[in-house]
Amino acid sequence: MTLARSTAGHRRRTGLRAEVAAHPDPWRSVDAQPEAARLLESLEARGRTPSQIRLRRRFLRFVPIRAGQRVLEVGCGSGVVMRDLATLVGPRGAIVGVDPSQAALDVARALARHHPLRRRMRWRLAGGAALPFPANRFDAALAITVLLHVADPETVVREMVRVTRPGGRVGVQDQDFGTLAVTHPDRTLTDRIMWGVASHMYDEPFSGRRLPGLLRAVGLDDVRLSTEVFQDTTLEPFTKTFLERRADNAVRFGLVDPPTAQTWLDGFTELVSAGGFVLTFNYYGAVGVKPAAARARR
C-alpha cells in the first residue's frame, strides 16, 4: 500500500484552503471543515480497526455500562460508540448522543438506521460545555476521544457530572500522543513530524494521562484508570489516513517541505512491504463515581 499526501492536494484542487477554521484541530469545528465528510468517515474506519474494537469494548466493560441504563455520550461523532452502547443497555435502556457538529449527527442517525435498537437512541446538537439536560438525568456520561479536542476539558467534565445521577459514573477516554511509537528508518524526521504536529494541533497532547487527575479535581469518587494500547502492524486504512494527515499537517505547519513529507511516507511503505511496520499508542480511560453530596452542590 502506498501512502500519499492527499489532504493538501484535495484542498488545493477544491480551492477551500481559506475555509479551514482558525484553530488547527479540525475536530473543534467539524462543520467548518471542507473535509467534514472525510473526517467522519475516518471515525468509522477507526471504529472498524480490530484493535479499536477491542479497546472500546474493554473500556465500556470497565465503566461498566449495564443493561437498562440511560447513558449520555458527549461528542458522539458518527456514532461508533453509541451503537455499541445501545447493544449493551438493551431494549430497556436509552442512549443520548450530543455533538456540536450537525454533519456528525446526520451521519450518526443514518448509520444507526438499521441497528436493532435504533429506537433507544436519540441525538441533540450541543457542545459539552453546556449540556441541554437537567441535573441527575443519566446513569452514566461518557466522552471518548473528545476532551483532547475541547478548549476547556474541566468545564465539559463538570457538565457531565451535573447531568449524571448521584452514584452514577462519568467515564472519559483519550489518546496520549506522548506515548506514540512507530517504526521508521529516519527517527529524527519522524519525531519532528509526529511530535511537531501533535504539539501544534492540540492544546494538551498528553490529554490521556491527565484524565484521572481531572476526574478527581471535579470531585468524583473511586476514580480508576484503565490503559489500553492501540496497535497496528499492517497499516490498516485508519492508520494510513492518520499518517497521511500527519504528513499533510507537517507541511501546513511549516515543519517540513512537501518532498520531505512524501519521502517520510515512502519510508513506511517500504517497512510495510518488509513486514517491519509497528505503530502503537496508549488510550487512557478514567472512570469516577458521582458522590451523593454532589446533589447539594448544583
Q: Which of residues 30-49 bind ligand SAM (CB under 6 A)?
A: 30, 43, 47
Is residue 290 near ligand SAM by the rule CB under 6 A? no
Is residue 63 near ligand SAM by the rule CB under 6 A? no
Q: Which is nearer to ligand SAM, 144 or 223 (CB)?
A: 144
Is residue 75 near ligand SAM by the rule CB under 6 A? yes
Closest CA to 131 of 82, 106, 96: 96
Is residue 128 near ligand SAM by the rule CB under 6 A? yes
Closest CA to 150 of 173, 133, 128: 128
Is residue 55 near ligand SAM by the rule CB under 6 A? no
Per-residue binding string, ligand SAM, 148-187, x by CB under 6 A, is -xx-----x-------------------------------
Is residue 74 near ligand SAM by the rule CB under 6 A? yes
Residue 128: CB minimum distance to ligand SAM, A:
3
- Distance, CA of 274 to CA of 291 (rounded, Å): 53
Residue in the shown chain whose Cβ atom is closest to ligand SAM = 77
Region of 96-104, 175-183, 204-212, 219-227 interacting with ligand SAM (CB under 6 A): 96-104
Q: Which is nearer to ligand SAM, 152 or 270 (CB)?
A: 152
Q: Which is nearer to ligand SAM, 147 or 272 (CB)?
A: 147
Residue 45: CB minimum distance to ligand SAM, A:
11
Q: Which three cell numbers stand for residue 275?
A: 513486514
Distance of CA 229 to the CA centre of its chain: 14
Q: Which is nearer to ligand SAM, 35 or 272 (CB)?
A: 35
Is residue 147 near ligand SAM by the rule CB under 6 A? no
Is residue 127 near ligand SAM by the rule CB under 6 A? yes
Residue 183 burial by Cβ neighbours in a 10 Å radius (0-12, 13-18, 19+):
middle
| Residue selected from 35, 99, 139, 159 as contacting ligand SAM according to rule CB under 6 A | 99
Q: Which is nearer to ligand SAM, 99 or 139 (CB)?
A: 99
Is residue 96 near ligand SAM by the rule CB under 6 A? no
Q: Which is nearer to ligand SAM, 69 or 207 (CB)?
A: 207
Interface residues with ligand SAM (CB under 6 A) are: 27-28, 30, 43, 47, 74-77, 80-81, 99-101, 104, 127-129, 144-146, 149-150, 156
